[in-house]
A and B are shown apart, each in its own frame.
Chain A
């Protein structure tokens, strides 16, 4: 069964303290792995799409990487405004729908 697991469930960091969020997946055929940011009471905001192992993408303080089993979202020197829930989802060869992880709630304390 296709599955996406995110860890940790929640992460509290001090401003400037770098860390990583994990998204592990077991799917029959990966067509794309997506990272989204969601603020409370809002819809998910697109961050990155990764398609093949070894691919990396960056945007400001965020960097996403992909292996054959997992993806990491690295956050460098985070600021309080980076606080949000980060969602990971995958699209497989057999389905156009996204399979979602449960999300990681990131809290950056000033």
Chain B
């Protein structure tokens, strides 16, 4: 079955630094990638959608200069949290989809803690 690998699973960084999260589709071509943020005891909140080779489309209220998304290949997307602050601490999850086939496969998530 489709597998998405997300790294790191946990990261702690200092306030003001940047953190990069990687999301790789291992056995299919991810034409579309989704990045979510999840707060404790809440459902998934979509941050942005990216199609391979195109700029990401951000949801209302999500700062595109703070959450940089790159989807340069059909198997890799990255989310960079720039100048992180404690309020950026959260659980970030990626999801990959191959439009021709359909279906949405999720990574295992990244717990970001900004101190």
**A residues within 8 Å of B by Cβ?**
32, 34, 36, 41-46, 49, 87, 96-98, 100-103
Tell which of A32, A42, A97, A98 touches B108, judged by Cβ atoms closer than 8 Å: A42
Near A by CB (< 8 A), chain B positions 90-110 give: 91, 93, 95, 97, 99, 102-109
* Sample of 6 more A-B contacts, CB < 8 Å, known A44-B44, A100-B43: A41-B111, A43-B95, A46-B104, A49-B102, A96-B97, A97-B34
Please state if B104 and A98 are interface contacts (CB–CB under 8 Å): yes
Size of chain B's interface in residues, with CB distance under 8 A?
Answer: 23
Please state if B93 and A34 are interface contacts (CB–CB under 8 Å): no
Q: What is the interface of chain B mostly: helix, strand, loop, or mixed?
A: strand
**B residues within 8 Å of A by Cβ?**
4, 6, 32, 34, 42-44, 46, 49, 91, 93, 95, 97, 99, 102-109, 111
Please state if A87 and B102 are interface contacts (CB–CB under 8 Å): no
**In whole angstroms, how far apart are the Cα atoms of A96 and B105 in the complex?**
14
**In whole angstroms, how far apart are the Cα atoms of A43 and B92 in the complex?**
9
Please state if A32 and B44 are interface contacts (CB–CB under 8 Å): no
Tell which of A34, A101, A103 touches B104, judged by Cβ atoms closer than 8 Å: A34
Scoring A34, A41, A49 by chain B CB atoms within 10 A of each residue's CB, the highest score goes to A41
In the complex formed, the residue of A with least CB distance to B31 is A96
Determine the chain B residues whose CB is within 8 A of the CB of A96 once the complex forms: 32, 49, 97, 99
Please state if A101 and B108 are interface contacts (CB–CB under 8 Å): no
